[in-house]
Structure 1
Amino acid sequence: MALAAKLEHYLTERGLAFREVAIEPAPNLDAAVIASGRSQHDFVQATLLLDIDGVVMAVHRFDSTLDLPAVQQLTGRRLQPLTARQSRRIFEDCEPGFVPPVGCAYCVPVLVDEDVMDAESVLLSGGRNDALIELDRETLKILLADAFRARLVIHGQGGDDRGGLTLDEIASKLRDIYRLPPMPALAPQILTMATTDGAVAEDLAEIIELDPSLTAQILRYARSGLFERSGQTSSVRHAVTGILGKHRVAHIVQGSALVGDFSVPRDGILGMQSFWSHALYCAFLSQRIAPRCGADRDMAYLCGLLHNFGLPLLGYLFPSEFEELSRLREANPGASMKSLEKQVFGHGDDEDLLAVGHGAIGGLLHRFWQLPEPVIKAAGMHQYQGYTGEHETYVRIVQLANGLLKARGIGDEFNEDNVPVLLGSLGLRQDAVYDFENEIDSLSPDLDALTSSRPS
């Protein structure tokens, strides 16, 4: 039987009825829901919370997002989400990310959203990645008999009446490429020269000097102290030929050109200031990680720099939804962006709807703009732990960088991540974390200065 040992023991000892639903092994619960072919609304999930008084399990529909402030107010406790490592200590018989929403089997007190109790039957994780279980209403009532019932989930604008936003609809919007802010006029020419064999760096500098915005950006980088030969230079020629080099100039121009003027507010948790800080930290840390796992430094830098670009693009294409997303992010600091995006952009039964989010949107745009395949994959898959496939090394480098940065409060991703597993998948030892943390410490002053000097 493909169930976690404690859950199986609890159900069989009490003679509780359930039906096992076999699926192909899935890397995460999202993928398991897709593999089942059933509606998201048929599933319930567990969100694990912790404070000084212990662990609490909140049980709610899979297509809903926990309202953490409401839970804190109801309980009078300062509960915060468990980390993946803390969760594994309690649910050691479960696959990571597949915690069964059956707290009584693990002696964990339960809060349950009142909407769950209306279900005729529910599907849920059985603790393994290759099977789900289905419970009828009577069994569910028995398992949740001692749970505290209340309204626990977020209701955004439009509530349950909002329709789902499909990838086809997003792709249609992105095909109207004229709607997007244009790149700086000289950017395509600069990028071509910077990536062409035999191009002369001095000629590249002359073209950059024709664009005041790019000139200022290049000089800020050259003076930042992030490079071995950095210093107080006032010459674009010296910045290009003596400090940065053609490839780094290409990256700077590419990042600046793609961000453009997306009319996203500068301040706030999802504002451009936070976005650009996260992008730079992730880029430079990814660049440091790459040589240790046989990856190209420059490509890793570009993947880190552009992986989150779908976020300002969301703000540009869907300003009202982005405003709501920003409010939910502020109000629910422990929730994953994936779950909040699902709440804002609606729910549905199609696989497409589970893929909607800033990662998928950024990946689509990068493909439209014909960026390198590793950059496309890093953008599209960085929210999916356990990804295997084309360019998986670059995806995992970005995921590892995000996981390490999350501990510093940098970035917007609060998905469960498993840094030891990511290290192992990249062939790295656990003690590499200390080296990467030192890298972050050494980069911080210059990256913070560079971010704060960036014009809005």
Structure 2
Amino acid sequence: MALAERLAHFLSRKSIVYRQIEIEVADSLDAAVLASGRPQHDFVRASMLIDISGVVMAVHRFDSTLDLDAVQQFTGRRLQPLTARQATRLFSDCAPGFVPPVGAAWGVPVLVDEDVVSTERVIFTAGTDHCLVEMDGRSCRLALAGAREGRLVINGQGAGGREALTLQEVADKLQKLYRLPPMPALALRILRLTGNPEASAKELSELIEFDPSMTAQIMRYARSALFNYPGQINSVQEAVTRVLGFDRVAHIALGIASVQAFDVPRKGALGMDNFWRHSLYCAFLSQTLAARAGHDKGLAYLCGLLHNFGLLLIGHLFPAEFDELNALREINPEASMHSLEQEVLGHSDRQEILVVGHGAIGGILHRLWQLPEPVIKAAGMHQHMGYHGEHEEYVVMVQLANALLKEQGIGDEFNLDNIPELAESLGLELSDLELVMQEVEQVASDLDVLASSLAS
């Protein structure tokens, strides 16, 4: 039989016009697409998902990757891929791996990506290993009548996923295969100084003054409206003692010095300009949340400031993948960063290292640099909602800061989040968050100016 029995019956009953395309027997849907000689973009496919409420079919273009975070947000359900065995039982009249994207033929509810609905012509598997179905846009829409339409995918090229290594294996491979950037000498000296309880403002100021650019940036920071200091600031030591305080200066100087380890483009959604803007806002917001939640403000600031260093490391070691990720971030403004990384990093020739995502990679780097444990955890786990474990409060502060900034169009973290739940875990009310965001609004222009100066 050329078409799966239920598909043939459904198309006939609905009087849907289509054309059969006979191909050589293929051992997979990918092979069938290649055997057809037609562009991959003409094909649509079915991704089968399941949760406690039942099975759902997601229909999207063959050359796109389903964004599970977007699907969850769209449906309000925690859907996971159906196993091959489950799919074989459900679609018993289809060859394994050749499920047609016409869920109504099997009584399965369908989600369809908006890009498919507007297509002029589609090709898809007929449910057998030797035949394809082609139909025009009108017939496709009839076949998908009743489906829920939404944005379900990441735009861009995709391929089958591969199994990722454990985090320890990733760390071992990174250190073995690549020359990870050492912490710059000045950053290391600042870090050591902050670990000395007897360190003085004078010692910190003298360290900073070794770098004229950093000196200028610290001075600009101290003179900004962020602190509204009424007097004149003439030296770094005065900035430390009169305005900023030892910890704040040490942390911003550590961030400035550390970034010098990386060679990353300035422009783009993930470029250095936006990196600094996101980091400074997240640092300020994390510090403000910490003050209200009764946690260490300086440590929270450092967690927010350094949590995204994994992106810099990816950009430094793997510029081609970083450029692709940067481009995808631009054209998929609502996709989660995790999904974009699975799309780009999970299919590159370095996928076994990079598929863990920039958060985990940043945590690896911070551990190598011997940064404080809360900073390591905040970097490593900020992409993992629902994290429970060591230094959880600092992870949650960064997650909450990113969630609040997302509403302001700042940053790159578009992972699913639950602001009330995150706030509650820190003992904060939604009214606290309103006040916090008012504080951010008051200093936004100064944070923007500082970010621009740091990126240049």
Give yes or no for TM over 0.5.
yes
Distance 1:354 1:230, change over 3 A: farther
Q: Deviations over 1:287-342 (max 9, x none)?
A: 01012222111111111111111111110111111111111111111111100100
Q: CA deviation at 1:234?
A: 3.2
Aligned match of 1:44 in 25, 49, 53?
49
Alignment-derived partner of residue 111 in structure 2: 110
Matches within 5 A, 1:219-238: 219-227=219-227, 229=229, 232-238=232-238
Letter in structure 1 aligned against 2:371:
L
Q: In structure 2, what is the equivalent of residue 290 of structure 1?
A: 290
Alpha-carbon shift at residue 239 of structure 1 (Å): 1.4
After superposition, the C-alpha distances for 1:27-77 in whole angstroms (9 at most, x for unaligned) are: xxxxxxxxxxxxxx986389xxxxxxxxxx95469996359xxxxxxxxxx
Counterpart code for 2:295: A
Match of 2:94 in 1: none
Tell me what 1:36 maps to: none
Classify 1:173/1:61 alpha carbon distance in 2 versus 1 (closer, same or farther; 3 Å).
farther
Are the aligned partners of 1:44 and 1:62 in contact in 2 as well (CA < 8 Å)? no
1:254 equivalent in alignment to 2:254: yes
Instruction: Indicate the SS of the match to 2:199.
Output: coil
What's 1:197 paired with? 197
Contact 1:44 / 1:59 at 8 angstroms: preserved in 2?
A: no
* Number of residue-to-residue matches in the alignment: 359
Q: Say whether the 8 Å CA contact 2:307–2:382 is kept in structure 1.
A: yes
Q: Is the 8 A contact 1:374 1:391 kept in 2?
A: yes
Alpha-carbon distance change, 191 to 291 in structure 1, aligned in 2, over 3 angstroms: same
2:280 counterpart SS class: helix
Aligned twin of 1:433:
433
CA distance in 2, matches of 1:212, 1:433: 38
Distance 1:179 1:432, change over 3 A: same
TM-score (norm 2): 0.67
**Is residue 187–residue 254 contact of structure 1 (8 Å, CA) maintained in 2?**
yes
When structure 1 is superposed on structure 2, of 378-387 and 199-208 the one drifting more is 199-208
SS, match of residue 284 in structure 2:
helix
Q: Classify the secondary structure of the residue corresponding to 1:186.
A: helix
Question: Which residue is 2:54 aligned to?
Answer: none
The 2-side partners of 1:161 and 1:416 are apart by 23
Contact 1:63–1:342 under 8 Å retained in 2: no
How far apart, in 1, do the equivalents of 2:205 and 2:275 lie? 28
**Residues 1:299 and 1:148: Cα distance change in structure 2 (over 3 Å):** closer
- How far off is 1:184 after superposition? 4.3
User: Partner residue of 1:160?
Assistant: 159
What is the identity, as a one-letter code, of the residue corresponding to 2:49?
Answer: V
| Distance (Å, rounded) in 2 between the aligned partners of 1:148 and 1:199 | 62
Tell me if structure 2 keeps the 8 A contact 1:193–1:204: yes
Residue in 2 that maps onto 1:130: none
Shift of 1:116: 9.5
> Do 1:307 and 1:359's aligned partners in 2 also have CA atoms closer than 8 Å?
yes
Spell out, residue by residue over 1:268-301, the C-alpha distance to the aligned partner (whole angstroms, 9 max, x if none). Answer: 1111010010000000101010122221111111
Residue number in structure 2 paired with 1:50: none
Which protein shows a greater Rg? 2
Identical columns (%): 57
> Which range moves more in the overlay, 269-278 or 366-375?
366-375
Q: Is the 8 A contact 1:233 1:239 kept in 2?
A: yes
Unaligned runs of 5+ in 1: 1-40, 47-56, 68-80, 121-142
